[in-house]
Structure 1
Amino acid sequence: MSSPVASHLAPSTSTISYDDIQRATERLSHVARVFDQRIVGQHGLRTALVSCLLAGGHVLLESVPGLAKTTAAQTLADSVSGTFHRIQCTPDLMPNDIVGTQIYNYATGEFSTQLGPVHANMVLLDEINRSSAKTQSAMLEAMQEKQTSIGGEIFPLPKPFMVMATQNPIEEEGTYVLPEAQMDRFLMKEVLTYPAPDEEVDILEMIQSGAMSAALTAQPISIEDVEFLQRLVRQVYVDTSIKQYIVAIINTTRGGGPRPLPNLNQHVRVGASPRGGIALMHLAQALALQAGRSYVVPDDVKLLRHSVLRHRIVRTYDALANNVAPESLIDAVFAAVPSP
């Protein structure tokens, strides 16, 4: 599995046993087969969702309507035998509608707690930018603390717990933009693009044949398997040189780093936070495990760079006015920092 180029990044003794790597590969192949039955194309979305789940984070999905965001979220839940709840955000949605509330029982004269839809393994928060700031912050608090508080009592959220929030970039009317500080809570932001024409033909074929709605033939994995995979991801070895590489990238987004980019401050107002570096490392570990490796190589750090950093770099007004894409700035940063 190791290449001559990456061999110096591997530990002298593997941090993960051969049997565990084989078990992880076998479980991940089950997840891939479930996706193959329901989702056509969208390989970037699959990689993002599975990697985010393994890294224990949350994902923000942005696209125009109809690009299988809801289907992908439901498929991920089905592939890991997890509970799934969908919350449709509207301006009148209240925090209690998400978290839960106390209901008074007139017969007994006592309050009973009714848990909200956030209490599930996979939660799809549809059009998060349509909910009010108060509701958004209640959801983000649940994401961060992995628990909710109802009537002064703490209720832990199920494990694993993952939020997939979607936002529609084309309808701005009646929306509440997520502040940068709140977007930073998402491990990654995936921007979906239209499928290729041949993939759209495949979608129509599958819908006509009923394959999309047919019962799953692929065997899903269990919640215990997911927890095993998440533990394994944390054991994936990250060499000191890889950590220094990640820190150099993050510092370069702030105008520093070993090779500072000239005139970066004309395009970037605020660079990535330390949370961006943590996200790069955790997702690199998840990608290494999916590749059957027990250690991280530079390509693991690079693969999801756009998804990790596009919502963590705040562009200047000039960059926004000139349509300077965050992805081009991220690519410039990675090009400037030498790989270990």
Structure 2
Amino acid sequence: MQVITGCHPILIVVLSRRLALSAGVLATAGLIGGSAAQYVVAAPQVVASPAAACSGSANLAANSSVSRTLQVNGVERHFRVHLPSGYSRGSAAPLILAFHGRGEKAIWFERYTQLSRLPAIVAYPDGLRSSTGPRSWQSAPYANPKADDIAFTRAIIRKISSEACVDRSRIFAVGRSNGGGLVNLLACQLPGQFAGIAMVSGAFYPQSQRGCQHSRAVSRIEFHGTEDRIVPYDGAYKFGSNLPAVPAYLDRWTVRSGCQQPLERKIASNVTRIDWFVCRPLGTMVSHVRIDGGTHRWPGSTRSDWRPSDRVNAAALIWQFFQLQRPGLIVGS
């Protein structure tokens, strides 16, 4: 493990706090020590924000999922929303928007990711079919030209905030594959909206980079298998567009965010985690989880044949990462 040297004292304090929080949350999630069976996400009580009481719809109940429909620029769009166990309309809860991969459905994504077991409200949007392909998002060359997923995302946040008690300072986004590319686009196009983002096997086509050149830095974590043949770790040319290599994608964001030297460590026999804890503005961080030999799968999936690694659980590590992105940890700019 490399040691960061020559840092300002404030940076050392921030790093120390993050490391302590990280260890505590990992232990709570069952990711430190023990067998692979312990890596299933637990369902702890909601950690409520000390916000004023909210009103909410009687149609939303704790520990349940419901379907919703919206009209977005004349197009009917659908999503699911899950309220966690322990949810109370009197306490603000975090909100996670979770975007499936190309060709998937929201209900499948909810089932295999285990994100609904986290202590947060989780929304699962459905992508839009194109005339020549399956459901997808506007962050790729094969997307339906009618898809305005940025407006769709805004509409979902407004709808859920009107029906449930949402902590507006703790809204996050998660995406897999094409959905990961959309999450990258959303972070660039909706500055200040997300406290953090997470991408699993992210497909970062040029369409997902629009508006990113001058966008505000957002804390992000990316998971990728080195043997991914759908979105190759070392990049590819697909659908008439370039997919960047994952290290190149990370370099782009760590340089743009002025990140200090990373810390690298093994968290499982075939899994390496790299963290850039100290970036600008202070409180921003970039993380990468590399799964050696991993394929285009969700780590910790409820489907055993979909696990690139039995030793890590993406949902648990994403929640750990999001827990670090609290407004109180941003100490400067």
Question: What is the TM-score normalised by the length of structure 2?
Answer: 0.31
Larger radius of gyration: 1
Point out which structure has higher relative CO (alpha carbons under 8 A, 6+ apart).
Answer: 1
Question: Greater strand share, 1 or 2?
Answer: 2
